[in-house]
Amino acid sequence: MDAAIPPALKRARKERRVTPRPVSIDCWVDSGSGCGGTAESFLFDILFTQVFTQSRGYGERLVSVILLYGWALDSLKSSKVGERRKRTHHIFSDRLARMKATNRREFLGQCAGAVAGAWVFPELARAAESSGPSAKFPIAPRERVSVAAYPFRDFIVGWKGWDGKSPSTVPASQQMELKDFAAHVVEKFNVHKIEPWSPVFPSTDPKYLEQFRAAVEKAGSAVVDIAVDARHSQYALDPIERQKAVVSSNVWVDVGAALGSPSIRTHVQGAKDVKPDVGRAADTLARVAEYGEKRNVVVHLENDDPVSEDPFFIVQVIEKVNSPWLRALPDFGNTLNTHDDDYNYRAIDAMFAHAYGICHVKEGEVDEQGKPTHVDLARTFAILKKRGYKGYCSIEYDAPGDPYKPTAGLVEKTVQFLS
């Protein structure tokens, strides 16, 4: 059966000044006697021209290939391929000329079919390209360790206390710029990953972020997360307030992208006279996760505030959003401040089931009554390994006193537990 050449292919043939005659599908697939390979040459020529060159618009090339694929498919349905296996004349290269008929059919089906599918079903193509984050986490235990800036806030220029009015009591000679924190961590702890904290950023201006990133890279280090504190509630009754929470978090997603960080942690802020609401929080954070996907930055939620960030509430929100771009940040000790051991380790297990890129390692804190709490590191790291966690472990000493010695000790313990 002769296959009629569609108009788009006729135009392409005219532009290329090729004049093959319409022949049967058997002929140009099998390159049998009497074909001379002309139509097959034309078919391959058009396919390569339309798909693999930039001489025409991409959409126009896709249309031509889809028409070509349909043309070939219609002919194949009404044709039987003979058993002739003669060589064709040179098409583009000797290798193509030596292709068997079945291989040529396979080639056409795979190339044109894939292109047509990507054009006709763009949603599937996008889903295949962006099924989730793909950060390359290191395997060596020490390379998985990070140091958080939070415990060193008094040593960073610009920190003025929780009220914003209290200058640091640390002598100026012992303070450092935030952009120098990475080099400081390398020198003091032999750790090449850092987790900055949003309140100590002197600026989020692109020029400053470029300088910050350059300083981090010069130190042979990397930003692996940004701990972001927010002021707007994700589950407030007021939709304007919730939108402000989205905008605020998205600003820091952009900061993360600018610094090359694979993630940020956004704080879930409480709302006055309103209990935590999974539905409203999920709706707000889903929008942040969507933006994070666009910027290739994962958004983490931490079990921090005992009310607005209860670990099981966090897990409910993450499960409702159901996006690989919204994940949990398990903190080893925060939940111990208000709950017993049983609750804490069940919470840690639930959080690690949804973790991705960052967790906070600490040996304990001081609870609301001033009583120190103790983290069972062996038990917690066992949960981490059971859940197959491959991300970073950020050291976050969180108790009164000098943070340097406890941080150094916790770095080494973490390396041992990860080994």
Find out whether 289 and 320 touch, Cβ atoms under 8 Å: no
Query: How confident is the model at residue 176, as a pLDDT?
Result: 97
Percent of the chain with pLDDT over 70: 69
What is the domain class of 141-418 according to CATH? alpha beta
What are the C-alpha distances in Å from 111 to residues 43, 108, 288?
12, 5, 37
Residue 84 above 90 pLDDT?
no
Q: Is 417 exposed, middle or buried (0-12, 13-18, 19+ CB in 10 A)?
A: middle
Mean pLDDT (the chain, rounded): 80
One-letter amino acid for residue 83 of the chain: E
Find out whether 12 and 64 touch, Cβ atoms under 8 Å: yes
DSSP type of residue 83? S
Query: How confident is the model at residue 9, as a pLDDT?
Result: 46
C-alpha span between 298 and 264 (Å, rounded): 6
Domain boundaries, the chain: 7-129, 141-418
Residue 47: which of 120, 102, 108 has the closest Cα? 108
Angle CA 142–362–299, to nearest 5: 75
SS3 category, 278: helix
What are the C-alpha distances in Å from 299 to residues 91, 316, 321?
52, 15, 12
pLDDT in tens, 184-205: 999 999 999 999 999 999 999 9
112-116, 398-402, 409-413: range with lowest mean pLDDT: 112-116
Find out whether 181 and 196 touch, Cβ atoms under 8 Å: yes
Question: 145 or 83: whose pLDDT is higher?
Answer: 145
Q: Which residue's entry shows tokens 């044709």?
A: 79
pLDDT in tens, 49-65: 444 444 444 444 444 44
What are the C-alpha distances in Å from 277 to residues 18, 147, 391?
67, 33, 29
Query: How confident is the model at residue 106, as a pLDDT?
Result: 56
What are the C-alpha distances in Å from 183 to residues 192, 198, 263, 397?
8, 19, 21, 19
DSSP type of residue 220? T
Mean pLDDT of 213-238: 96
Residues 6+ apart with CB under 8 A from 288: 245, 246, 249, 250, 253, 266, 299, 326
| Both tokens assigned to 14 | 């005219």
Residues 6+ apart with CB under 8 A from 267: 228, 229, 230, 302, 304, 305, 309
Handedness of CA 102, 106, 107, 109 (dihedral sign): positive
Query: How confident is the model at residue 274, as a pLDDT?
Result: 92
Question: 76 or 159: whose pLDDT is higher?
Answer: 159
Q: Which residue's entry shows tokens 């206390």?
A: 161
Query: How confident is the model at residue 273, as a pLDDT?
Result: 86
What are the C-alpha distances in Å from 3 to residues 60, 75, 85, 348?
22, 6, 21, 65
Residues 6+ apart with CB under 8 A from 383: 345, 348, 349, 352
| Both tokens assigned to 283 | 């709706």
Find the radius of gyration of the CA atoms of the chain. 30
Per-residue confidence band for 337, with pLDDT thresholds at 50, 70 and 90:
confident
Find out whether 48 and 18 touch, Cβ atoms under 8 Å: no
Element containing residue 109 per DSSP (H, E): helix 101-120
pLDDT in tens, 88-125: 334 334 444 444 554 555 544 554 554 444 444 444 44
Mean pLDDT of 375-386: 97
Handedness of CA 55, 58, 63, 67 (dihedral sign): positive
157-161, 235-239, 287-291: range with lowest mean pLDDT: 157-161
Q: Which residue's entry shows tokens 């401040």?
A: 337
